[in-house]
Amino acid sequence: MLLLQTVITLIKSICFFDKDIHFYLINKDFSEQWFHALNLDLNKINCHITDIKIKQTNFSHLKTTQYVSEASYYRCLIPQLIPQDKVLYLDCDIIANGSLLSLYQQDLDNYLVAASPDFLINSGFFYHRTLFQCWRTII
């Protein structure tokens, strides 16, 4: 239940500043009813959330800890799961305090990925380091 509320808080904080957003949530166990109810509210502001279910993963060989779950590795599947040429990945435990439009519109020509360190929590570096290790494993 806490994770559901965290995701809703993130979405509400983004929608406070930006409209016409298409969210994708990569997950294993959020219910269809939850997505339906959330989309009823999001549609009022021309936003939408898509449920991307992970049925089977091949992450058993990757290390998990108290702070890094299997779900932390789902972001490595974004190019395969989301049809957009460009996406803005956000952890669900943040709150937007302004528009994300200028961040999304950053020019990424000649780059596969852009990342930002997390200056407030030391785990931000760990997550990005883990992400790059995961990509190296896949590529």
Q: Rounded CA gap, 25 and 38, in Å? A: 12
What does 36-74 look like in DSSP terms, one character per residue? HHHHHHHGGGT-EEEEEE------TTS---SS--GGGGG
Coil, strand or helix at 139: coil
Q: Cβ contacts of residue 85 below 8 Å, gap of 6+? A: none
CA neighbours closer than 13 Å in the CB half-sphere of residue 127: 23
What's the whole-number average pLDDT of the chain?
A: 83
Q: What is the pLDDT of residue 51?
A: 97
Higher-pLDDT residue of 94 and 131 is: 94
- List, in sequence order, every residue forming a beta bridge with 48; answer none if it has no partner: 22
- Identity of residue 43: N
Residue 135: which of 105, 110, 115 has the closest Cα? Answer: 115
Average pLDDT over residues 4-9: 92
Domain 1-138 sits in CATH at 3.90.550.10
Q: Cβ contacts of residue 50 below 8 Å, gap of 6+? A: 22, 23, 24, 25, 35
Average pLDDT over residues 57-79: 84
Higher-pLDDT residue of 129 and 13 is: 13
Per domain, the residue ranges of the chain are: 1-138
